[in-house]
Structure 1
Amino acid sequence: MSSPRHPQRPAAHELERYAGLFASRTRAMKSSAMRDLMAITERPEVISLAGGLPDTSTFPAESFAAIMAKVAVDNCAAALQYGPTEGLLIAKDAIRRVMAAEGTEVDPEDILVTTGGQQVIDLVCKTLIDPGDVIVAEAPTYPGAIPAFCSYQADVVQIEMDADGMPIDVLEETLDSLEREGRRPKFIYTIPNFQNPGGVTMSLPRRKRLVEVAAEREILVLEDNPYGLLRYEGEPLPTLMSLAGGEYIIYLGTFSKILSAGLRLGWAVAPAPVLAKMNMGKQGADLCSSSLTQHFVAQYFAEGRWEPYLQSLRQLYRGRRDTLLGALAEHFPAEATWTQPQGGLFVWATLPEYLDTTDLLARALQRNVAFVPGRGAYLDGRGAASMRLNFSGVSDAEIREGVRRIGEVIGEQVELFGTLTGSRPAAAAPAAPAPDAELADVLQLPRTPRPGAQRSDGRR
């Protein structure tokens, strides 16, 4: 309630009062499509297929209590104290073990512990990006990275993916074009494993060539790898960092998907000069990440529980992925396509071009179901007919009911389009076979723009 001295004012008036105080960079800031939905999806009646939420209900409450009790008895004072900006050695040892599980050996001195993986993206931008600098990213890209890129006023060039991830030949053509314009990207941003939101995985030949391109052109690559250990079928592929031997690669990892998002604990591994600058940037942001959560992680790993727990997550999420794919086959129209990931947390679905998922979301929310509209993964207006669907954070029953509700809304809009245009809507898609290791990573991604197509900012 407002006080008599400070009566409530309209929001527009409030903005006008403070507008002259804002930094110029705030004009380029964009809100995250996911974070905008968090308040809505917290309502218990809403089935959320929107967030990238791990199922934290699977973590045994008695284990949590026992670990915290152990930390309280053995390390209470240290856990409640400030720590070094670069992180505690006990937490770095846990990180080293996680990376070793993916075949990537690192020196603890090369690790910077961060407040979640999101902070790594912010610190990389803070360290490397001046206004107008170029970042090359996949299309679609992680919706949570877009606000960070925009906050630092980067010019983001997105390269459309196919079933094997980012086409490196197209990347090289893009880099050549930028070089002719006198513009050199500061870094290339990629999620090579079970990409968020696309669900695809970068092939081994493309990984090897990307590492070569980075070395040849002396361009950094930010390898965002939250999902690499969440593989449900197929053979693991080496990280870019392991292929490159650490040269020109900044590696981003997090405990959010394999342990708990609420810990807010991630990490970066980078060449020493880059890591030193990121460390200074972190000092100005939060001094250090939580000592309490670092002690929790260290104690958890010391007890050897993480690998069995991770295996249980793989089994759970694989079943939920299969449930989502089956529900899409049952309830989405025949014109729709979707990715079929071998791991990770997301499916990317594309509807007929005449549908707009931003509009569909508003209608879906009226039926208490949510997803992330495709435009949230692009910076140039693309993705209007696509959506990101998460399968990890809700039960099988909720997945089926949520997709049924979304399918109803889509069906109504397809029917309306048919009425207005005189075209007859297609029948529902046939049921898809159960996923297995032989299936392709992707059925279809958004169409790659034709060469020379005009960009939204006027450049080609």
Structure 2
Amino acid sequence: MKSSAMRDLMALTERDDVISLAGGLPDTSTFPPDSYASLMRTVAADSCARALQYGPTEGFALVKRCISEVMRAEGMEIEADELLVTTGGQQVIDLVCKTLLDPGDVVVAEAPTYPGAIPTFSAYQADVVQVTMDRDGMLIDELEQTLERLEREARRPKFIYTVPNFHNPAGVTMSLERRHELVRIAGERELLVLEDNPYGLLRYEGEPLPTLHSLDDEFIVYASTFSKILSPGVRLGWAAAPAPILEKMNIGKQGSDLCSSSISQCFVSAYFDSGPWDEYVRSLVEIYRRRRDVMLDALAEHFPREAQWTHPQGGLFIWATMPPYIDTTDLLARALEEHVAFVPGRAAFIDGRGGSSMRLNFSGVGEEEIREGIRRIGEVVREQVALYGTLTGARPVSAPQRKEKDDRAPRSSIAEAELAKVLQLPAKRKRAG
């Protein structure tokens, strides 16, 4: 796994002088330092020996109790022996691959998909087949056609990977109907689904939808994490899976890192014992909702009319698509000259699509930085639009999309055909789902 130009470019986004809208970072500055210090004192006083020692590979019972509370908040009832504590949610993806994949095995994923999953799939030499999305998530008809084609080719997938809630990077949420359909397909075909749900509790509008795991857990491997609702620094996630899969994942984890951090598990347990854990989550929801709205307003003010973007009901990301003649990888290099960064869309595709799209994060920086960052990106985009017009003789309309706030409603609900462009769907598809 050698370095690439993209990795080198993305490394520049972490410079202190860059407004980074690239990362998937929660804002850990919102966690009170006094509370952190108090919790660590509690760990030192009550659990010092345990915190400094190796733990069981599957995780401490005390932290599994906390995980059960979080899952209950999303409509799931789970027993301790159905859980595996992991070193972040990312390790769940790794362990599923380690457990199930041989080189050349097929994994089905959404298009676009979580950029952090692609290197993991590649490391295990998976053949990733991507299924396109619209505003309601993965296109079920296309999924079934894909599975039928793979069956004819004797290439049965090992699992389907999906982020149903507030998709990273697309920002869309899978509809209830499609959740039921996906669970049905998994049951009929006896095909595992890896449900990655790190953002489920970060909902800013609309009604919560049931997880796939809560609909039918027989063929669902459920993954989540404390990173988005507490702190990524604790590096704790978890998996809930059918017993045979969980047992193999446990063995795989033992060979990888023996156990997840005992200190972190004791810290999380002390945090849950200290008071209502969901109060902090509600405070994050309010902060991130405001930041999302600030970014949506800034996009409407500073991006040209040719641009489109999603309106996420939760999560951390907005997916924006520029005119097709703009390459966002090249655009990132130019944006970094203006000390602002985003993730180019190609990072979310296997086959080179996404070249005109970008992922924008609104959780990791403050409201003023969001406004300024989007203003800078908008200037660079309009610069490229104008250059294209000069070179081709075209007269693109590059004015901002909106100045008044009272037309938020029509802009916040993108027509489905336009959203198809945003999600890089085939041009021939006028309406999907």
The two structures have a TM-score, normalised by structure 1, of: 0.89
Aligned to 2:321: 350
Mapping 1:384-395, distance limit 5 Å: 384-395=355-366
Mapping 1:322-341, distance limit 5 Å: 322-341=293-312
2:175 maps to a residue whose letter is: S
Aligned to 1:308: 279
Once the two structures are superposed, residues 3-35 of structure 1 have per-residue CA deviations (whole angstroms, 9 ceiling, x without a partner) of xxxxxxxxxxxxxxxxxxxxxxx4xx78796x7
TM-aligned CA deviation for residue 428 of structure 1 = 2.1
2:422 corresponds to 1:448: no
Find the partner of 2:176 among 196, 200, 204.
Answer: 204
TM-aligned CA deviation for residue 192 of structure 1 = 0.2
Aligned to 2:373: 402
Secondary structure at the aligned position of 1:157 is classed as: strand
Change (3 A) 1:37 1:313: farther
Find the partner of 1:56 among 28, 31, 35.
Answer: 28
Find the partner of 1:149 among 113, 116, 121.
Answer: 121
2:147 corresponds to 1:175: yes
Secondary structure at the aligned position of 2:383 is classed as: helix
Aligned to 2:159: 187
Unaligned stretches of 5+ residues in structure 2: 429-433
Aligned to 2:78: 106
Query: 1:54 and 1:167 mapped to 2: Cα distance?
Result: 29
Once the two structures are superposed, residues 218-265 of structure 1 have per-residue CA deviations (whole angstroms, 9 ceiling, x without a partner) of 100000000000000100000000001x10000001001110011110
Query: 1:199 and 1:248 mapped to 2: Cα distance?
Result: 25
Contact 1:352-1:385 at 8 Å conserved across structures: yes
> Larger deviation: 186-195 or 40-49?
40-49
TM-aligned CA deviation for residue 44 of structure 1 = 1.9
Query: 1:56 and 1:177 mapped to 2: Cα distance?
Result: 45
Find the partner of 1:163 among 119, 126, 135.
Answer: 135
Contact 1:80-1:292 at 8 Å conserved across structures: yes
Query: 2:414 and 2:292 mapped to 1: Cα distance?
Result: 15
1:446 maps to a residue whose letter is: L
Query: 1:187 and 1:31 mapped to 2: Cα distance?
Result: 28
Query: 2:306 and 2:11 mapped to 1: Cα distance?
Result: 32
Mapping 1:433-444, distance limit 5 Å: 433-434=407-408, 439=413, 444=419
1:312 maps to a residue whose letter is: S
Aligned to 2:13: 41
Contact 2:213-2:220 at 8 Å conserved across structures: yes
2:381 corresponds to 1:381: no
Find the partner of 1:252 among 223, 227, 234.
Answer: 223
Change (3 A) 1:31 1:111: farther
2:61 corresponds to 1:84: no
Secondary structure at the aligned position of 1:161 is classed as: strand
Aligned to 1:22: none
Identity %: 67
Change (3 A) 1:440 1:204: farther
Once the two structures are superposed, residues 304-337 of structure 1 have per-residue CA deviations (whole angstroms, 9 ceiling, x without a partner) of 2421100000000000000000000011110100
Query: 1:371 and 1:420 mapped to 2: Cα distance?
Result: 26
Aligned to 2:239: 268
TM-aligned CA deviation for residue 127 of structure 1 = 0.5
Unaligned stretches of 5+ residues in structure 1: 1-25, 452-460
> Larger deviation: 418-427 or 140-149?
418-427
TM-aligned CA deviation for residue 412 of structure 1 = 1.0
Secondary structure at the aligned position of 2:329 is classed as: helix
Secondary structure at the aligned position of 1:105 is classed as: coil
Aligned to 2:88: 116
Secondary structure at the aligned position of 1:389 is classed as: strand
1:238 maps to a residue whose letter is: P
2:145 maps to a residue whose letter is: E
Contact 1:163-1:441 at 8 Å conserved across structures: no
Contact 2:83-2:238 at 8 Å conserved across structures: yes
Query: 1:435 and 1:36 mapped to 2: Cα distance?
Result: 39
TM-aligned CA deviation for residue 96 of structure 1 = 0.4
Contact 2:105-2:157 at 8 Å conserved across structures: yes
Contact 1:346-1:391 at 8 Å conserved across structures: yes
TM-aligned CA deviation for residue 435 of structure 1 = 6.5
Query: 2:384 and 2:278 mapped to 1: Cα distance?
Result: 45
Query: 1:252 and 1:87 mapped to 2: Cα distance?
Result: 15
2:94 maps to a residue whose letter is: D
